[in-house]
Amino acid sequence: MNFTVLKKSTIIKTLLLVVSLSILFPLLNYSSAHTVFNGNSSRLLPIYSVKTEEKKVAISFDCAWGVDYTDELLSIMQEENVKCTFFCVEFWSTKHTDYLKKISEMGHEIGTHSATHPYMSKLSSDQIKRELTSSMAFIERTTGKKVELFRPPYGDYSNTLIETAKSLGLYTIQWSVDSLDWKDLSASEITKRVVSRVENGSIVLFHNQGLNTSKALRGIIKELKEKGYEFVKIGELIYRENFKIEPDGSQVKINN
């Protein structure tokens, strides 16, 4: 008899939990497009990739330290008719303003990578605003184009960072495929790593100063084209409204 009562009690509690969660989760998903709940806390997420049925991929470059291989990268993309997104640190932009202009004039998209390349999760909201507004202003004055994308240095972020960026009209962007070109991998290693990991809606991370990035880029573009992929800028890939972020960082369109 005791076993039967215990069993019924357990079943009732389980059913109540399932019903509660079925009500709660939709509310959580729609209350904030960016929020993932873990236990009693919530964490905002940047965009790592985009859920799409279309075979589209976005290539991105972080620019912070030099320009030794940038002309070659730009030439390859021009020859292959590929446009991509460059995230530029302000101290790089001021030192290499001619390249900032050239990248923009060639039709590529430019986002901010901060002003001084700090670990931005350690900054206050006011400090973050200074980093972003200063770097955005320089890019916009130089190119005449509005900055809409932001990539945190080191991929380091916090709720405050994402909220502050959003208040400035910025979408915070990470990546779903890391080329690891900053580790000076060989061109073949970079190519194999990227091509094997790309999926619909992937955002690929490169660095304009990667030692073998330019040697790998043409082959990567050709192989992905053969697989049927179209290359787009991140600003063309992401959803601008009516979306949510899944726990894996993928951006999903919400159909109203």
Question: Among 224, 181, 218, 223, which residue's Cα sits nearest to residue 200?
Answer: 224
Residue bearing the bigger pLDDT, 201 or 19: 201
What's the whole-model pTM score? 0.84
Catalytic-labelled residue, pool 71, 178, 207, 248: 207
The answer to whether residue 207 is catalytic is yes
Q: Tell me if residue 117 is catalytic.
A: no
Over residues 7-28, mean pLDDT? 40
30-66: pLDDT as tens digits: 333 344 433 445 899 999 999 999 999 999 999 999 9
Q: Which of 62, 108, 113, 117 is catalytic?
A: 62
Could you read off the pLDDT of 74-103 as tens digits, one per residue?
999 999 999 999 999 999 999 999 999 999
For 58, 59, 87, 143, the CA distances from 108, given in Å and listed in that order, are 11, 11, 11, 11
